Amino acid sequence: MHDIEPYYNWRHLYTAEEDARSPFFERRYDEFAFTQTVYNYYIHPQWDDFGSRTLYIKIIFADYDTGFVVIEFIGEWNDAIENDIMTLKREIIDNLMDQGIQKFLLITENVLNFHSSDASYYEEWQEDISEEGGWVVALNMPAHAQYDFKAARLDRYIPLIEYPSWRTSQPQYLFTAIDNLMLRRLNNG
């Protein structure tokens, strides 16, 4: 797992550690010291700790003018024991919403497992952004994690979308494609 890096081809466009509005502003990374783990496996030092013991993230793009962010995940998303959604909401999402972000693209292809609890923080997140026309989507979640996510009926708050070519898109194009898809979903039902 230590060789799975956060997506880096947009770093010439955006880096969270250089963004004064980011919760990770001025964060420093040691490329040689692997200190964070998931399941006792070290992960790449570029992943950001937000307070969960099993889930890490990387804000790989933010556009405050348009009001969207792309966040990549790695690890176990565990609401049952760790209450990861609460920690994510309080430590990261609320901060980004205070900066004008209302649309959230979550890259979840490296979510190894998902364990649910209640839906209250998902519902709160949806309520917080729905007045502004906001949305949250999870891209490319693995099938086994999708199964548990859907079984908890959380996909009514965070739709699960397959978009395997996201890496070949520039962030604005990715956002436009997902925003149009979400607009069509809203208009159809």
User: Does residue 9 lie in a domain region?
Assistant: no
Give the chain's domain count: 1
* Per-residue confidence (pLDDT) for residue 66, from 0 to 100: 97
User: Does residue 1 lie in a domain region?
Assistant: no
* Per-residue confidence (pLDDT) for residue 23, from 0 to 100: 96
Do 67 and 100 touch, CB atoms closer than 8 A? yes
Task: State both tokens at 62.
Answer: 């933010």
User: Does residue 3 lie in a domain region?
Assistant: no
* Per-residue confidence (pLDDT) for residue 1, from 0 to 100: 63
138-172, pLDDT tens digit by residue? 999 999 999 999 999 999 999 999 999 999 999 99
Q: What is the mean pLDDT of the chain?
A: 94
User: Does residue 97 lie in a domain region?
Assistant: yes
Residue 189 has pLDDT above 70, yes or no: no
CATH, residue 42:
3.30.750.24
Range of the domain at 61: 16-183
Do 37 and 31 touch, CB atoms closer than 8 A? no
Q: Does residue 2 or residue 55 have the better pLDDT?
A: 55
User: Does residue 188 lie in a domain region?
Assistant: no
DSSP state string for the chain: -TT-PPP-TTTTT--GGG-TTSTTTT----SS----EETTEE--TTSBP-S-SSEEEEEEEEETTTTEEEEEEEEEEETTTS-HHHHHIIIIIHHHHHTT--EEEEEEEEEEEEE---SHHHHHHHHHHHTTT-EEEEES--HHHHHHHHHTTGGGTS-EE--TTGGGS-HHHHHHHHHHHHHHHHHH-
User: Does residue 127 lie in a domain region?
Assistant: yes
User: Does residue 2 lie in a domain region?
Assistant: no
User: Does residue 125 lie in a domain region?
Assistant: yes
CA dist 22 and 96 (Å) reads: 7
